[in-house]
Every structure is written in structure tokens, then in C-alpha cells.
Amino acid sequence: MARHPSARNMFQLMNERCKSTTFASHGYPFDDHGPVYVGEAHLADRESISLKYAFYILADVADKFVDQYPMIQKLRQHDSEAFRQKLRTGLLELLRKIRTWIYANMRENWKIERLSVKVPAQWDYELRRPIRALLGEVFEWDEMKADDIISFITGSDNLAHGLLNLNYQTGEKPRQLWLFIHFDGHGLNGSLFTVDKRPSGRFLRLQEGVGKPAYESVGAGGGSEHLFHHFLAAFQAKYLDPPAGCEGPTRPMTPYISEQLRQQFTNSAVKDLWGPPLYAYEEYRSTFRVRLVETGEVIRCPFDVDEISQIWNDAHKHAFELVEKLLEDLQKWTTVAVHGTVHEPVICIAGGSAKNMPFRRKISGMIRKAKLPMAVFPDDMFFLP
């Protein structure tokens, strides 16, 4: 079981070592009514999308990833040289805002020698190339300097280094195999590290044997952005399209409607609980209210438990397929000797989408089925009083 004081002290250490903040990533590339990137503001008269998905277009890999990231489809429909330029412009505006914040929070004698960018595990050289180019342009670095300064890390690797470098303690045995899962709005990443808890020990990426490649991070689409995308599609089908077999006009999913839904859906009281029922006997409905711009009428739009479960399962399909594979690998490598020792399994899960209670219930059931010890959620421990 995790020792809470260690977790609390680690959080204090991390706060002392660095400041942090978040930046809105959504933009408005589908019209010419204003800037592509407007910061934190959410506009009810313009259609938005997370600019993170622009990289799939700029790297020419949209076809390869659209099954995992259906949000890309809308960008593919608008793809042209002029549209790509708008995507680049929006990303540059976002990155310049980040650069301004970095310089404003640097100490007088500091300089940037390394810039680490957190990316999904699937983002290989093709996807990293446009990120490096845009960052080089924003920070005014030539190609060689950008290559030297910019590095990339996955969410699960970042979690591993953040916890293990600060000597986060859990479990009983001196040699362990840790599965790190990081689940955010864009997707789920997983990494496996061997950990030696002895004073002279260290942690290393899992390697099957001498001379064999290390176990690299893996990733899949899923998370809160996917959930909201699938929810909007279900809302369109249920409340805006005419019923099956009936004729009639289809109401468009206007920015005015989607922004009302976003405000309700992203409320933490909804987002952290929305999904299949936590208990078998639960029967509940989730009701959204939308004001129609044409008449000013407010309509109630309920979803029953079966509809909610279907939306949730569709959104996280790829993520849970990957979790199943990761648990199989952890089980495999903790029942045989690695470097002459059978390691104790430890599972560590973090990220914004990992706060969703139905996700935790689902993944806990998968862990029990695999006969592995329950996961620790360090994000929870950081905020203990």
C-alpha cells in the first residue's frame, strides 16, 4: 500500500522545483471570422476543435490515425494548402503564448538548454517533425539548434520519471516491475519499468533480455475529448436528426448548441461520474438542457443508462484494448524471472481522464481479473490534507 506521507512530500517537492500552468488548445480554423487561436475564450458562434489534431494533417498521417481519433475526420474534409496554413497559424499563436509564459517565469540567470515536449506514444518521427519545426520558429532556433534542444516524452514515461526520481514508495519487495498508465483527454499511454528499491538500485525500461530491445511506451486514442466527440454524435442522432423512417429537416449541430453542451459536459460533477453505472442496481438518466437560438425555447435532452454506456464504451474502445494488453504483459513478466529475479508487480495510474469513476471501476475489474494488485492513483494522494 502506498505511504501517503511520501506522496504528500513528493508533491511539495515538485511544487518547489517548478511552476506549471495549462493552456487552452482549442482553435477556430473553420471560418474567417477572427483569429484561429483566441486563448481561453470559448465562442458560441464559431466551430472549434483542439489544435492538437492539426498535427495529424500537417504530418500527412491523418489516414493512419483517423480510426483511433475520429475528430481528425472534420479536418480531413477541409484539407487544403490554405486550410493547413490556418492550422499552422493557430498553432504558432498557441506556442507563442506558451513561450511568453516560459520567459516570464524564468529566473534571471536561466536559459533554455532542454525543452521536453509531452506527446502520445504513437507520435513517431513523422508527427514530431512539424512540432519541432513550429517550436524552432517560435523560439527563433535554427534546425540544428531545435534538434539539439527539443526532446519528446510520453505521458506514461513522464509519470514514471516524475515519481521514481523522487523515490515514490509502494509495495513490499526490493525488485518490482511497474506499469505506468497515463490517461488524458487525447489518449492513453503505457510504459513498463523495472525498479530496484535497494539503496544502490535504479529504474530501467523493461528489457526482455541482454541484447534485446527495450519495451517502448505504447498508446491508443481515448479519454475525455473522445467521450465528448461521441456524445455530440449521439446527441445529433437523437435530438437533431429526424427519427429513423421519418422525413423532415435535420437541425445542424451549431456552435451555439455544442458550446452549451460542452459547458454542461465538462463540469467536473458530470465529467468525473459520466459513464456506465457504478452499481448494477443503478438506473439513472443524464439530462442536458439546450436553448434553441431560433425560438429561445429550452429543451430537455435526457440519455438513459444504456445510451450512456454505449457512448462511453465507444469512446474508450481503443484505450481499453491497450490496457488489456498492458496487463497481460505485466502479468507475463512478473511470473517469470527478469534478469534472474521474479519482480513484484505495481500499477500506477494518473491523468485527467483517470479521475472518471466509471473508468476506475472498469480498470479495477480488469486488474482483478488479471490477478494483479490494485492500482495506486498518486494524483489522489497529492491532495491529502
Instruction: Give the tens place of pLDDT for each residue, 69-128.
Output: 999 999 999 999 999 999 999 999 999 999 999 999 888 888 889 999 999 999 999 999
Q: Low-confidence residues of the chain, pLDDT below 70?
A: 1-20, 167-173, 197-201, 208-212, 243-249, 279-284, 338-339, 381-385
Give pLDDT, residue 4.
33
158 within 8 A of 150, measured Cβ to Cβ:
no
Looking at the DSSP bridge assignments, the partners of residue 301 are 288
Distance CA 248, CA 192 (A): 54
Give pLDDT, residue 6.
40
By CB atoms closer than 10 A (0-12, 13-18, 19+), residue 283 is exposed
135 within 8 A of 95, measured Cβ to Cβ:
yes
132 within 8 A of 151, measured Cβ to Cβ:
no
Distance CA 92, CA 112 (A): 19
Predicted TM-score (pTM) of this structure: 0.88
List of domains in the chain: 4-155 (no CATH), 224-315 (3.90.640)
Give pLDDT, residue 7.
38
Q: How far is CA 202 from CA 5, 9, 164, 174, in A?
A: 22, 20, 9, 11
Which residues, in sequence order, are CB contacts of 41 under 8 Å at separation 6+? none
Residue labelled with grid coordinates 465529467? 271
By CB atoms closer than 10 A (0-12, 13-18, 19+), residue 179 is buried
Q: How far is CA 270 from CA 28, 274, 277, 281, 358, in A?
A: 25, 6, 13, 20, 12
Give pLDDT, residue 359.
95
